[in-house]
C-alpha cells in the first residue's frame, strides 16, 4: 500500500528519497511526492518516474520526506498526493493509515480559521500540529499533543522547516522502521527502502514516537516516556530484491521456490527422527500441548494457505481447526473457548485485518500464533509466539514463493503438534522424509514448463475459467483462480469439485475452460468423474495430474504432470504449475504481472 521514506543526514535528501520510493514501488500506489526542508513540494500522479521528471537535479536540503500513495480518502490526484502542508507552508508530513475522526477534527480546525487544500484525512494532522505550534508548544510537545487527538491508524513522518534537521516519526497500526547509519538516519514503512544504506534498524511499536536527527534517534511513548531498545539487523541483501536475470519478479520468485522450501525447513525438519524443531514455539510448548482448537486467520493467498493447513492439522495433528477471513473474524462474535488458539498467516506481517484479528484474540485472552515472512513486523511482534517463513523479500504483488513457504511451515507445524498428540512415529517419518524431498520435486516441475506454456496458450483467449479440486487441492483451486485473476484479469472461480452439480456446471460450454487438479490421491476417482461431466458438455479441460498417469490424457485437452508425493503435501507441488500458468497468460496478454492494476502487496488499511 502507501509507502513512506524519510532521511536526516549530511547527504542530498532528494536523491535518497527517490531511491527509496523506487524500492517501494512493488507495494502498489497511484501517486508520489517528496519535499525537503529546503525545497517546495513535488508531486506526480502515476509511477515514481513521473515524479523524477519534476524533481530538479539539485533540490537542496539534507532532511526530507517522501511518499507513494494508494488512494483511500480522495481520488488519485496531485492535490491529494502526499506530502501535505499546514496553512503557513512551514510543516509537511506523509502518512500511512486512516484517521477515523478526521471529519470531526477538520470541522473544528476550519472553524478556527484553517484552510484545507485536499480531500484527504491526512491533511488534518498538519493543521492540528500547526495549531499546537502556534499556541507555543515545542515541536516534540506539539507532535505528541497532535497524536493524542488522532483516532485510527498511522505511520507518520513530519518535518518542520523551523527545525531543518529533525524528522518527527510516529507509529500506530502502520509499520515504521528506522535505519541507523553513520551520522545519518533513514526512515521507511518497509526495510526494502533502506537496506541499501544500512542493515541496523529499529522497528517502532504501536504508540511509539521517534525524534530523529542526523546524530540521534530518541524513541518515546505517547506519554513522553523514553524508551531504550537495541537495534536489530536486517538479514537479507539488497540483491535479493532484484530480478536476477528474469523478465519479471514474479517469474524470479516462482523459480526461487525450491531454495525457499529448503530455507524454510533448514534446522527445523528432522526426517530421520520424524520430528520438527520450531524454535519460535519453544517458549509455549506446554500451552500448545493443551490447546483443543485452532482458528487460522488470513487474507487472500494466506487464507488459502490456511485452508490447506486446516486439512493438515485436523487429519494428522488431530486438532479441530477453523479458518476465517481476517476481515470477518472480529465481527462474528465467535465463541472461542478456553484452550483455543488463533494462528495468523501473513507474508508481510502487517495485513490490517489479520492484525486486527490477533488483537481481538488477545483481548479475549487467547493464545496467539503467527506464520510471518517479515522479521520484526507488527504481527510477528504482537503474537505470543510463531514461526518465520524465511522466504526473503517478495517483490511481485501476487504471492508465489511466500505461499509455498506458508504451506511448508504449516506442514512443519502439523508434524510438530501431531507428535505432541497421536501422530505415529511411522507416519511422522513418512511425511517428514517426503517433505525433505519436496524442493527437488518442485525443481523438476520448473524444468519442464512447455506443457504449462501450451496450457497458457489455450487459456489466454478465455473470458472466464473454472478451477476445481477436492480435499487438499480444493484450496489450491481457489488459489489458482486467484492468481489468474490477479495477473491476467481473466475472470476465474475456484470451486470444490463436489459442488459442480450445485451450480457451476451450468456454465460449462466449449468456450469455458476448466483447470482440474487431479493427482492420484484418495479422491482421484471422484475428480475423474467430475472431469467426465465437464467433457460430456464439451468443456475444455486442463488437468494437473501425477506423473505416470496416462489415462487422464484421454479425458483432458492438456495435461501438466507433477511428481508423486504424500497426499498432505500435494498442494506444494500442484500450486507451482498454476502460478506459472497465470504468469504466462498475464505476459501473453501484455500485462505487468509484477504490479497488477488496483492491487497492493501489503494491505495495511481496511
60 lies in some domain: yes
Contact (Cβ atoms closer than 8 angstroms) between residue 226 and residue 62:
no
Contact (Cβ atoms closer than 8 angstroms) between residue 115 and residue 87:
yes
- Residue 90: strand, helix, or coil: coil
Catalytic member of 133, 441, 471, 601: 601
Please report the pLDDT score of residue 73 as a whole number.
77
- Looking at the fold, whether 253 and 402 belong to one and the same domain comes out as yes
- Looking at the fold, whether 218 and 259 belong to one and the same domain comes out as no
Of 234, 261, 277, which one is at a domain's C-terminal end? 234
CATH number at residue 494: 3.40.50.10490
- Looking at the fold, whether 177 and 321 belong to one and the same domain comes out as no
7 lies in some domain: yes
550 lies in some domain: yes
- Looking at the fold, whether 254 and 210 belong to one and the same domain comes out as no
Contact (Cβ atoms closer than 8 angstroms) between residue 91 and residue 125:
no
484 lies in some domain: yes
- Looking at the fold, whether 67 and 177 belong to one and the same domain comes out as yes
- Looking at the fold, whether 186 and 314 belong to one and the same domain comes out as no
Please report the pLDDT score of residue 598 as a whole number.
83
- Looking at the fold, whether 548 and 579 belong to one and the same domain comes out as yes
53 lies in some domain: yes
Please report the pLDDT score of residue 450 as a whole number.
96
CATH number at residue 192: 3.60.20.10
Please report the pLDDT score of residue 244 as a whole number.
66
- Looking at the fold, whether 284 and 363 belong to one and the same domain comes out as yes
Phi, psi of 514 (to 5 degrees): -125, 135
Of 184, 213, 234, which one is at a domain's C-terminal end? 234
- Looking at the fold, whether 268 and 143 belong to one and the same domain comes out as no
Instruction: Please report which residue ranges of 27-168 form alpha helices under DSSP H.
Output: 48-54, 102-111, 123-134, 139-149
pTM: 0.74
Q: Residue 52: which domain range?
A: 3-234
- Looking at the fold, whether 252 and 210 belong to one and the same domain comes out as no
Give the cell for residue 385.
509466539
Q: Is 289 a catalytic residue?
A: no
510 lies in some domain: yes
Which residues of the chain register pLDDT less than 70? 1, 26-28, 236, 238-242, 244, 335-336, 600-606
287 lies in some domain: yes
Q: How far apart are CA 249 and CA 241, in angstroms?
A: 8
Q: Is 460 a catalytic residue?
A: no
Catalytic member of 2, 171, 217, 299: 2
pLDDT digits (tens, 9 = 90+) for 197-240: 999 999 999 999 999 999 999 999 999 999 999 999 987 676 66
- Looking at the fold, whether 516 and 601 belong to one and the same domain comes out as yes
Give the burial string for 36-69 (b: 16+ CB within 10 Å, else e).
bbebebbbbbebbeebbeebeeebebbbbbbbbb
Please report the pLDDT score of residue 107 as a whole number.
97
Of 442, 472, 506, which one is at a domain's C-terminal end? 442
Q: How far apart are CA 175 and CA 223, in angstroms?
A: 20
- Looking at the fold, whether 342 and 400 belong to one and the same domain comes out as yes
239 lies in some domain: no
Domain count, the chain: 3
Please report the pLDDT score of residue 70 as a whole number.
77
Amino acid at each position: 500500500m502507501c509507502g513512506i521514506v524519510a532521511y536526516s543526514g549530511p547527504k542530498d535528501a532528494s536523491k535518497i528519497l527517490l531511491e527509496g520510493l523506487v524500492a517501494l514501488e512493488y507495494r502498489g500506489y497511484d501517486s508520489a511526492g517528496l519535499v525537503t526542508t529546503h525545497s517546495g513540494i513535488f508531486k506526480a500522479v502515476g509511477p515514481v518516474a513521473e515524479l523524477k521528471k519534476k524533481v530538479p537535479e539539485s533540490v537542496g536540503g539534507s532532511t526530507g520526506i517522501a511518499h507513494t500513495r494508494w488512494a483511500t480518502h480522495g481520488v488519485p490526484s496531485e492535490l491529494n498526493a502526499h506530502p501535505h502542508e499546514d496553512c503557513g507552508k512551514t510543516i509537511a508530513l506523509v502518512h500511512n493509515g486512516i484517521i477515523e475522526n478526521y471529519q470531526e477534527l477538520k470541522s473544528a480546525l476550519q472553524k478556527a480559521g484553517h484552510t484545507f487544500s485536499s480531500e484527504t484525512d491526512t491533511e488534518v494532522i498538519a493543521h492540528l500540529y500547526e495549531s499546537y505550534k502556534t499556541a507555543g508548544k515545542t515541536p516534540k510537545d506539539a507532535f505528541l499533543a497532535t497524536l493524542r487527538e488522532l483516532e485510527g491508524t498511522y505511520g507518520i513522518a513530519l518535518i518542520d522547516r523551523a527545525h531543518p534537521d529533525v524528522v518527527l516519526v510516529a507509529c500506530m497500526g502502520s509499520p515504521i522502521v528506522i535505519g541507523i547509519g553513520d551520522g545519518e538516519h533513514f526512515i521507511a514503512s518497509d526495510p526494502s527502502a533502506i537496506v541499501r544504506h544500512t542493515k541496523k534498524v529499529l522497528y517502532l511499536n504501536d504508540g511509539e514516537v521517534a525524534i530523529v536527527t542526523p546524530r540521534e534517534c530518541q524513541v518515546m511513548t505517547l506519554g513522553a516516556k523514553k524508551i531504550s531498545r537495541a537495534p536489530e539487523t536486517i538479514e537479507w541483501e539488497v540483491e535479493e530484491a532484484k530480478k536476477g536475470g528474469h523478465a519479471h519478479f514474479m517469474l524470479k520468485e516462482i523459480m526461487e521456490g525450491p531454495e525457499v522450501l529448503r530455507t524454510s525447513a533448514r534446522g527445523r525438519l528432522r526426517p530421520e527422527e520424524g520430528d520438527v524443531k520450531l524454535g519460535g514455539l519453544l517458549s509455549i510448548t506446554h500451552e500448545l500441548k493443551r490447546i483443543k482448537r485452532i482458528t487460522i486467520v488470513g487474507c487472500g493467498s494466506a487464507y488459502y494457505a490456511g485452508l490447506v493447513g486446516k486439512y493438515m492439522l485436523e487429519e494428522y495433528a488431530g486438532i479441530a481447526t477453523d479458518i476465517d477471513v481476517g476481515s470477518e473474524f472480529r465481527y462474528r462474535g465467535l465463541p472461542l473457548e478456553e484452550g483455543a488458539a488463533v494462528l495468523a498467516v501473513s507474508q508481510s506481517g502487517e495485513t490490517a485485518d489479520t492484525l486486527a484479528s490477533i488483537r481481538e484474540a488477545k483481548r479475549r485472552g487467547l493464545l496467539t500464533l503467527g506464520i510471518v515472512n517479515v522479521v520484526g513486523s507488527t504481527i510477528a511482534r504482537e503474537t505470543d509466539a510463531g514461526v518465520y517463513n524465511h522466504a526473503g523479500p517478495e517483490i511481485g504483488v501476487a504471492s508465489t514463493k511466500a505461499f509455498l513457504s506458508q504451506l511448508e511451515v504449516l506442514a512443519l507445524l502439523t508434524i510438530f503438534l501431531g507428535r505432541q498428540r497421536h501422530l505415529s512415529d511411522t507416519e511422522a517419518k513418512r511425511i517428514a522424509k517426503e517433505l525433505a524431498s519436496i524442493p527437488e520435486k518442485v525443481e523438476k516441475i520448473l524444468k519442464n514448463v512447455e506443457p504449462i506454456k501450451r496450457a497458457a496458450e489455450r487459456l489466454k483467449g478465455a473470458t472466464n475459467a473454472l478451477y476445481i479440486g477436492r480435499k487438499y487441492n480444493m484450496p489450491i483451486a481457489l488459489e489458482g483462480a486467484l492468481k489468474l485473476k490477479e495477473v491476467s484479469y481473466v475472470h476465474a472461480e475456484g470451486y470444490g469439485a463436489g459442488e459442480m452439480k450445485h451450480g457451476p456446471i451450468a456454465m460449462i460450454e466449449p468456450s469455458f475452460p476448466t483447470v482440474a487438479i487431479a493427482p492420484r490421491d484418495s479422491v482421484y476417482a471422484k475428480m475423474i468423474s467430475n472431469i467426465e461431466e465437464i467433457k460430456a458438455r464439451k468443456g475444455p479441460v486442463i488437468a494437473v495430474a501425477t506423473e505416470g498417469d496416462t489415462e487422464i490424457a484421454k479425458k483432458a485437452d492438456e495435461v501438466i504432470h507433477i511428481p508423486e508425493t504424500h497426499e498432505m503435501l500435494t498442494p506444494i507441488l500442484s500450486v507451482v504449475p498454476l502460478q506459472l500458468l497465470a504468469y504466462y497468460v498475464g505476459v501473453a496478454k501484455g500485462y505487468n504481472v509484477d504490479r497488477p492494476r488496483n492491487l497492493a502487496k501489503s494491505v495495511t488499511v481496511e
